[in-house]
Structure 1
Amino acid sequence: MLKKNEKMTDIKYITETKKLIDDLKSVCANYGLGNDGNEFKIISQVFLYKYMNDKFSYEVKQMSPELASAENFQKAYEEMPEVKRQFLLARLGNKAPHLKPEQLLSHLFNNSNQPNFSEIYFDGTLRNISQENINLYSIKSTSGAKDTMFDELSKFITDPSQRDNFCKALVNKLVNFSFEKMFSEKYDFFATIFEYLIKDYNSDSGGKYAEYYTPHAVARIMASILVGKKEDVKDVKIYDPSAGSGTLLMNIAHAIGEKNCTIYSEDISQKSSNMLRLNLILNNLSHSIPNIVKGNTILEPSYVNTKFDYIVSNPPFKLDFSDYRDNLDKDSNRERFFVGIPNIPKKDKDKMAIYLLFIQHIMYSLSEKGKAAIVVPTGFITAQSGIEKKIRQRLIDNGWLRGVVSMPSNIFASTGTNVSVLILDKNADNEHIVLMDASKLGETIKEGKNQRTVLTTEEEQKITDVFNEKKAVEELSVVVTAEEIKAKNYSFSAGQYFEIKIEYVEISAEEFAQKMNEFETTLKNLFEQSNQLDKEILENFKKLKFKG
């Protein structure tokens, strides 16, 4: 859905970019890879190569009048003296990948009819770019090993005789498209493009490891609440311990300003980590790619000794972690999991509440001025016992709860679980805690086989404004104190604090008498019907006979 203030040129560029994605999908389909498990890798990696190629060209042209004015960029770059080229790359820094002349798309296109094009030129180029830019763009695992940015894409074609033609077809789709004009016009809607790029590969909602992206409305609300309009935020660390494709991180980074923050993330899914890398590159946050970690945040946290200024998270709610549950229950983890670790149930291990560990991990990871927004199942905010209540109690006793927003049902298309957002702030105002019930907002739409609730732009703004301005709005929000929450057994549900209003209607003595007569007549009729039924039941009972 496009925002109202998007310019016509923006719409034009979005349309052109979506067409490029569709063209790449068409090539895959023509070579038998439509809906294949490897199609996403091919589409996303070829798209990424094209983006990086154009980003490089755009940035070096800003620094070199010689290249900017060249009639043939490829030729001018090839003929540039090596010393001058190295100086140019040093100035480029991490604004874009460092590409050699033979790694540019135009070079691939010029050599697309060469023998063994797929292996020597196409795969070879992507492989070399990965190796030579490993410090800029590679994702590391918990062990410290770094991945490769590009696979050998031609190998996904099982018939070797078709590989050259396949790679040539991909290059032909790329060469007639350019991102450069979009950079010059401050193209700023890659969230739309990213979502379009991954939409066909997100149907499993991340399989075992939760969703790949949080609805943008929820992400925008979380960012707008954490980063107020008046705040001047600089040089801060942002973290998501279950990052997925990074929608939450992108939104808060945009709210703060990409140059004012550094992103850190962890996620157990390789696919999610690769999506996040692409998202960071598209959103001018490449400098944070070295901080992406593929690993198990709960078992082997990479940033356990780092404290963060902003944390956002939509963690998996239920997940079987019985295989390593006992490893968590050690003295070394007592401070991190301060109120305990969920037990292993006798049945349904998949229902182990792993999100309770993520909440504790987030609380442990906040800096002295830290703030956090966490998506939780709404049942968490009212549970009367167990770890849930202990966490809520700790938040109130520490004075860290800024408020809660309970979202409409089906705000996530892939789950019917009602969700709420916890807003934490180590410097919260304990006399004005905002509890909001936004469950009645939104419009229900059908999305495939599922129904989803969509908030309007006005409703998003209303939620944000009411929360940040600490307003009490009838049937939407209340503003309470920490002591009031303690008196309600630490309930974070706005509904338990709403006033019950009894409406009185003035009537005359005659109207009162008439209503009483109507009630009396109705009651007499009901009593008569009841007596008649009693008689019929007794008569039928007497007719019952024993049959031997």
Structure 2
Amino acid sequence: MTQDITYTTKTKQLIDNLKSVCANYGLGNDGNEFKIISQVFLYKFLNDKFRYEVKKKKQQLGKEVDEDLLMDLLDENVPKLKPHQLIAHLHNTQNTDDFAKTFDDTLRDISVENTGIFSIKSFSGAKDKLFDELSQYISDSSQRDDFCRALINKLFEFSFEESFEDYFAEKYDFFKDIFEYLIKDYNSDSGGKYAEYYTPNAVARIIANILVDPENIGKGKCYDPSVGSGSLLMSLAHQIGEDKCTIYSEDISQKSSTMLRLNLILNNLTHSIPNVIKTNTIAQPFYWEKQSFDYIVSNPPFKLDFSDFRDDLEKDTFKERFFAGIPKVPKAKKESMAIYLLFIQHIMGSLNDSGKAAIVVPTGFITAQSGIEKKIRQRLIDKGWLRGVVSMPSNIFASTGTNVSVIIIDKKAGTEQIVLMDASKLGKTVKEGKNQRTVLSREEERQIIEVFNSKEAEEDLSVVVTKTEIQEKNYSFSAGQYFEVKIEYVDITAEEFQEKLSGFEERLSGLFAEGKRLDGVIQKQLKGLSYE
């Protein structure tokens, strides 16, 4: 854990250093600043990953090998860089003329030579470039060489003091923190158009440990239709085993796709990068009808203005997918449209016959008395697909105060042992800047996982109910509505009972007398009122 904290701290320091470079050249909080920082990070990751794999291969071979042969021996999913494309070489040659051109050409060549492995496809099938010509974001051409020198110096300083190489064998559950730190200045907490939200590591770990049975782990196709940086998928992959799972994802955000690509590289999941699709999952689903999945995880946007394409979703081609209906466009506050209801329906239709899913939803979904919410809950119960629900503590998400619950779907769940859990009283409140956030301890995480997986009824925490019981409660998924109401009885003697009763009568007589006295005072005051 200490190593994780050290890594995260140093990485945030590098982000700050790169932001400082951008600010010094007039790009502070500029629309292109995020592109520069994220692409420089990608170059850094590729550089260190290549060095790490080369070093490891040389140790395995135990002898000096021709460089060309060594490149051929590297795994096909390893980035391939030539000696003159490494950070150290650019640092040593930074005083040459036209360094900005050398810098841009180097990144372009790396992009071309590694497109097959590291590029992300859009819905149309077009592949993105790994790198832009970063120097061109500086409008004053006379400053471009110095700008690129400043970037490479920051990378070299970090390489000298601390390389990512030491961490490539680790499980990067903490990469979410870096993603959040990197894009926090470019994203509105209030939502907006396609805003990103960050799933806490505790929630990601709980979901992974509930979905994956350690006694029965096979190869799995894992999917997230609103992937963000991929923290849910990374935890799931670690639980299954990176060599046993293939990642599939969709997201409309280019920023999220960039961060996910970095995350896959760090987590030995490079083989899944071709499955990262940048698209509008609701309007233009890439995998719908092409692929079904063993595991699906999602923390979808809860509210979003999708009025621009809402009417298109009414067409016959979408009716099977959105069986429970499509939210209407409100006259005011279009940004409040409940798009998460479309994601839930999309996920239900994307599971294979034995698939499992976990979806983060606003807690209001689990008790809504009618509408699309209730129709979705009815189908989950009537088909025997609901394994359970975990209602999380308030403020467990840093970027929203909305109370959330996690819906656990399992096509093989059945109808007799459905676990409903109210974990809202767990956790400790901590202050993060201006906001407060609830943090679960590792012990509380284990408690949630163990109680849920063992299907235990624990007082004030969980209940185990049947399909019939849920139907009788109007399909409510709220654990609190099923908790047993307990009345504690205390045995007393007849004398003690009579004494208590006499005490009540005496106090009641006193209250009546006081009430009569006050009535007289009020009447007297009213008679003294006059109009002037």
> TM class, shorter-chain normalised?
over 0.9
Does residue 142 of structure 1 match 2:123? Answer: yes
Which ranges in structure 1 are unaligned for 5 or more consecutive residues?
Answer: 71-75
Does residue 479 of structure 1 match 2:471? Answer: no
Task: Using the TM superposition, give the Cα deviation of residue 22 of structure 1 relative to its aligned residue in structure 2, in angstroms.
Answer: 4.2
1:322 maps to which residue? 307
Does residue 95 of structure 1 match 2:89? Answer: no
C-alpha contact (below 8 Å) 1:244/1:267 kept by paired residues: yes
1:113 maps to which residue? 95
Q: 1:191 to 1:116 in 2, by over 3 A?
A: farther
- Give me the identity figure in percent: 64
C-alpha contact (below 8 Å) 1:319/1:352 kept by paired residues: yes
Q: Distance in 2 between matches of 1:416 and 1:526?
A: 45
C-alpha contact (below 8 Å) 1:267/1:273 kept by paired residues: yes
Bigger Cα displacement from structure 2, 474-483 vs 170-179: 170-179
Q: 1:347 to 1:49 in 2, by over 3 A?
A: same
C-alpha contact (below 8 Å) 2:119/2:274 kept by paired residues: yes
Structure 1 residue matching 2:247: 3-state secondary structure: strand
Does residue 299 of structure 1 match 2:252? Answer: no
C-alpha contact (below 8 Å) 1:53/1:105 kept by paired residues: yes
Q: Distance in 2 between matches of 1:30 and 1:189?
A: 35
Does residue 506 of structure 1 match 2:491? Answer: yes
Task: Using the TM superposition, give the Cα deviation of residue 131 of structure 1 relative to its aligned residue in structure 2, in angstroms.
Answer: 2.1
Q: 1:14 to 1:413 in 2, by over 3 A?
A: closer
C-alpha contact (below 8 Å) 1:431/1:480 kept by paired residues: yes
Structure 2 residue matching 1:344: 3-state secondary structure: coil
Structure 2 residue matching 1:441: 3-state secondary structure: coil
The one of 136, 142, 145 aligned to 1:164: 145
2:345 maps to which residue? 360
Query: Residue type of the partner of 2:36?
Result: I
Q: 1:231 to 1:392 in 2, by over 3 A?
A: same
Deviation per residue, 1:497-529 (Å, 9 max, x gap): 110000012233333233223222221222122
The one of 155, 160, 166 aligned to 2:136: 155
Task: Using the TM superposition, give the Cα deviation of residue 182 of structure 1 relative to its aligned residue in structure 2, in angstroms.
Answer: 5.9
The one of 264, 274, 286 aligned to 1:290: 274
1:50 maps to which residue? 44
Q: 1:457 to 1:339 in 2, by over 3 A?
A: same
Query: Residue type of the partner of 2:139?
Result: T
Does residue 389 of structure 1 match 2:374? Answer: yes
Structure 2 residue matching 1:190: 3-state secondary structure: coil
Task: Using the TM superposition, give the Cα deviation of residue 536 of structure 1 relative to its aligned residue in structure 2, in angstroms.
Answer: 2.8
1:241 maps to which residue? 225
The one of 279, 287, 293 aligned to 1:308: 293
The one of 252, 258, 261 aligned to 2:245: 261
Does residue 338 of structure 1 match 2:323? Answer: yes
Task: Using the TM superposition, give the Cα deviation of residue 18 of structure 1 relative to its aligned residue in structure 2, in angstroms.
Answer: 4.6
2:35 maps to which residue? 41
Structure 1 residue matching 2:349: 3-state secondary structure: helix
Task: Using the TM superposition, give the Cα deviation of residue 90 of structure 1 relative to its aligned residue in structure 2, in angstroms.
Answer: 4.1
Bigger Cα displacement from structure 2, 135-144 vs 190-199: 190-199
Bigger Cα displacement from structure 2, 288-297 vs 471-480: 288-297
Query: Residue type of the partner of 1:103?
Result: Q
Q: Distance in 2 between matches of 1:438 and 1:546?
A: 61
CA RMSD of aligned residues (A): 2.5
Bigger Cα displacement from structure 2, 392-401 vs 176-185: 176-185
C-alpha contact (below 8 Å) 1:213/1:246 kept by paired residues: no
1:222 maps to which residue? 207
C-alpha contact (below 8 Å) 1:59/1:95 kept by paired residues: no
C-alpha contact (below 8 Å) 2:38/2:258 kept by paired residues: no
With normalisation by structure 2, the TM-score equals 0.92
The one of 103, 114, 130 aligned to 2:111: 130
Q: Distance in 2 between matches of 1:69 and 1:13?
A: 32
Q: 1:38 to 1:67 in 2, by over 3 A?
A: farther
Q: Distance in 2 between matches of 1:37 and 1:225?
A: 40
Bigger Cα displacement from structure 2, 179-188 vs 291-300: 179-188
Bigger Cα displacement from structure 2, 431-440 vs 107-116: 107-116
Q: 1:210 to 1:361 in 2, by over 3 A?
A: same
C-alpha contact (below 8 Å) 1:10/1:187 kept by paired residues: no
Task: Using the TM superposition, give the Cα deviation of residue 164 of structure 1 relative to its aligned residue in structure 2, in angstroms.
Answer: 1.4
Query: Residue type of the partner of 1:159?
Result: D
Q: 1:229 to 1:178 in 2, by over 3 A?
A: farther
Does residue 27 of structure 1 match 2:21? Answer: yes
1:462 maps to which residue? 447
Structure 2 residue matching 1:417: 3-state secondary structure: coil
Q: Distance in 2 between matches of 1:379 and 1:436?
A: 15
Q: Distance in 2 between matches of 1:344 and 1:185?
A: 48
Structure 2 residue matching 1:391: 3-state secondary structure: helix
Q: Distance in 1 between matches of 2:434 and 2:255?
A: 24
Which ranges in structure 2 are unaligned for 5 or more consecutive residues?
Answer: none
Q: 1:63 to 1:187 in 2, by over 3 A?
A: closer
Task: Using the TM superposition, give the Cα deviation of residue 535 of structure 1 relative to its aligned residue in structure 2, in angstroms.
Answer: 2.2
Deviation per residue, 1:14-70 (Å, 9 max, x gap): 555454444434433444444444333323222221221121122234445799877
Task: Using the TM superposition, give the Cα deviation of residue 129 of structure 1 relative to its aligned residue in structure 2, in angstroms.
Answer: 1.3
C-alpha contact (below 8 Å) 1:372/1:423 kept by paired residues: yes
Q: 1:182 to 1:300 in 2, by over 3 A?
A: closer
Structure 2 residue matching 1:259: 3-state secondary structure: coil
Task: Using the TM superposition, give the Cα deviation of residue 447 of structure 1 relative to its aligned residue in structure 2, in angstroms.
Answer: 1.4
Q: Distance in 2 between matches of 1:127 and 1:212?
A: 31
Task: Using the TM superposition, give the Cα deviation of residue 11 of structure 1 relative to its aligned residue in structure 2, in angstroms.
Answer: 5.6
> How many residues of Structure 1 are paired with residues of Structure 2 in the alignment?
527
C-alpha contact (below 8 Å) 1:141/1:294 kept by paired residues: yes
